[in-house]
Amino acid sequence: MRRNVLYISYDGMTDPLGQSQVIPYLLGLSRYGYRFTILSFEKKERFRKLEGRIRSILEPAGIAWEPLWFTSQPPLLSKFYDAVKMRHAALRLQRRHHFDMVHCRSYPSSENGLLLKRRYGVKFLFDMRGFWADEKKDGGSWNQDRFIFRQVYRHYKKKERQFIREADGIISLTHAGKTEMQRWDSYNPAVPPDVIPCCADMAHFTLRTGDEKQEGRRILGIPPDVPVLGYLGSLGSWYMLNEMLDFFRVFKGQYPDAVFLFITHSSPVMVLDKLARFGLQEQDIRIIPAERDQVPVFAKAADLHVSFIKPVYSKTSSSPTKLGELLAMGIPVIVNDGVGDVGEVVKAVDGGVVIHEFNESEYRHAVDEMPRLLALDAESIRIKAEKFYSLETGITRYAAVYKKILDT
């Protein structure tokens, strides 16, 4: 008998995360006989551009898609408006389809998963995707000096305790996050979290060849022999742009013709306005947005990539999507510890350098490692990374969680 599953996400399927961290898993789980309905929130511009492509991927797998509009204005009030829309849609879909389980991505979605469990007895999977409320606080979105944001934070920390106590299954992105949850008063030993990191589609992020590296540079207008440091993903919040530019300053001191390549949808102004502070010029930088199909092409143009993330409490539970993707391509990385399992994974894979402090000494040590990093065997990095980040392994783990929940 095919089981009916509602998947709720406040991220859109037309967003990069939806395309990399939702759709591939659901396509794989559909092969196990699960029938999915996705309830997601879409940005209008991206939806109009990509709706047809996303439907052409979902429909052959029998996955239904119920998109709602993501609202961003006015701040905060728009979130309550979206929460009401999500609740009404979830109840409407439940009455129509009688779901066996609701799979909820992060906290706003999980409010509705808990509602469906309490009201209709639907099994509830809390796919927490990190300590969301603490991420909002640590990233500055919920300024705790303001009363309203203190109340919102307290609301979701209370909800977090309920999700942990009442969920039929819990997904943690990291072992570090799981260990932290086991210290919480709300922890339910009968439902221990399963750890599934942000995996990478190894068929999409293929092993880099020398020809692909040069083709990416040709497209980007970067000379073949110039040292290139790359950065992949969003900027802002807990992504430490100042520290990464300072690292590049040190990098450029040793490699004067080096280029820093940013592959990001974030505003170029975020980078360009900071260059003078670090003695950098606009010609030292390349900034380019990329859709999912373009990401491997551009990422492979760099010799190595850097990713510095604030090592704050909430990042204990963080699994950066970019890490699995870069290691799958055999590209070395320079990262900081104190972020989920990142440091441990990079060391286990022998795929880069882990720094412990954001200072000149640590940066120079990492730059001195560049010859060794460039000599690493890319295929070896990929093979070892597959153990941690293979999409197929992730799908298999999700399937085991589904079976455990639905057969109970």
Dig out the tokens for 268 from the structure. 């170029």
What is the distance between the alpha carbons of residues 293 and 278, in angstroms, rounded to a whole number?
33
- Long-range pairs of 113-117 with CB within 8 A, sequence gap ≥ 24: 113/8, 113/163, 113/167, 114/159, 114/162, 114/163, 114/166, 114/167, 115/87, 115/90, 115/91, 116/6, 116/90, 116/91, 117/166, 117/168
What is the average per-residue pLDDT within 235-239? 88
Length reported for the chain: 408
Dig out the tokens for 263 from the structure. 């592959």
Q: Phi and psi of 227, rounded to 5°?
A: -65, 130
How much of the chain, in percent, has pLDDT values that exceed 70? 100
Omega prior to 74 cis, within 30 of 0:
yes
What is the distance between the alpha carbons of residues 408 and 405, in angstroms, rounded to a whole number?
6
pLDDT value, residue 275 = 97
The conformational region for residue 221 under phi > 0 = left, psi -120 to 50 = alpha, else beta, is: left
Q: Is 273 exposed, middle or buried (0-12, 13-18, 19+ CB in 10 A)?
A: exposed
What is the average per-residue pLDDT within 398-407? 97
Tens digit of each residue's pLDDT (9 = 90 or more) over 7-23: 999 999 999 889 999 99
- 3-197+391-406: what fold? Rossmann fold (3.40.50)
- Is residue 193 scored above 80 in pLDDT? yes
Strand partners, 287: 262
Q: Look-up: residue for tokens 């520290």? A: 243
Dig out the tokens for 232 from the structure. 């992949």
For 210-389, the fitting CATH number among 3.40.50.1390, 3.40.30.10, 3.40.605.10, 3.40.50.2000 is 3.40.50.2000
Confidence band for 302, pLDDT divided at 50, 70 and 90: very high
Dig out the tokens for 218 from the structure. 């040709």
Confidence band for 238, pLDDT divided at 50, 70 and 90: confident
What is the distance between the alpha carbons of residues 332 and 349, in angstroms, rounded to a whole number?
10
What is the distance between the alpha carbons of residues 205 and 298, in angstroms, rounded to a whole number?
11
What is the average per-residue pLDDT within 257-283? 97
Average pLDDT, the chain: 96
Helices 77-97, 106-120: axis angle to 10 degrees equals 40
pLDDT value, residue 16 = 87
Please count the CA atoms within 13 angstroms of the CA of 13 that sit on its side-chain side.
27
Amino acid at 396: T
- Is residue 217 scored above 90 in pLDDT? yes
Closest listed residue to residue 22, CA positions, set 129, 119, 107: 129
What is the distance between the alpha carbons of residues 175 and 189, in angstroms, rounded to a whole number?
16
For Cα atoms 206, 198, 210, give the angle at the middle one, nearest 5 degrees.
20
Which residues of the chain form CATH 3.40.50.2000? 3-197+391-406, 210-389
What is the average per-residue pLDDT within 164-191? 97
What is the distance between the alpha carbons of residues 274 and 272, in angstroms, rounded to a whole number?
5
What is the distance between the alpha carbons of residues 62 and 196, in angstroms, rounded to a whole number?
25
Strand partners, 7: 38, 103
Beta strand ranges found along 76-132 (DSSP E): 101-105, 123-127
Q: Which helix (H) or strand (E) holds 232?
A: strand 228-232
What is the distance between the alpha carbons of residues 285 and 264, in angstroms, rounded to a whole number?
13
What is the average per-residue pLDDT within 220-231? 97
Tens digit of each residue's pLDDT (9 = 90 or more) over 106-159: 999 999 999 999 999 999 999 999 999 999 999 888 999 999 999 999 999 999
- Is residue 1 scored above 80 in pLDDT? no
**What sign does the CA torsion over 314, 345, 129, 401 have?**
negative
Q: What is each CA distance from 111 to 108, 135, 155, 283, in whole angstroms?
A: 6, 18, 11, 48
Tens digit of each residue's pLDDT (9 = 90 or more) over 338-384: 999 999 999 999 999 999 999 999 999 999 999 999 999 999 999 99
What is the distance between the alpha carbons of residues 277 and 245, in angstroms, rounded to a whole number?
9
Strand partners, 367: none
- Is residue 303 scored above 90 in pLDDT? yes
Closest listed residue to residue 47, CA positions, set 68, 20, 63: 68
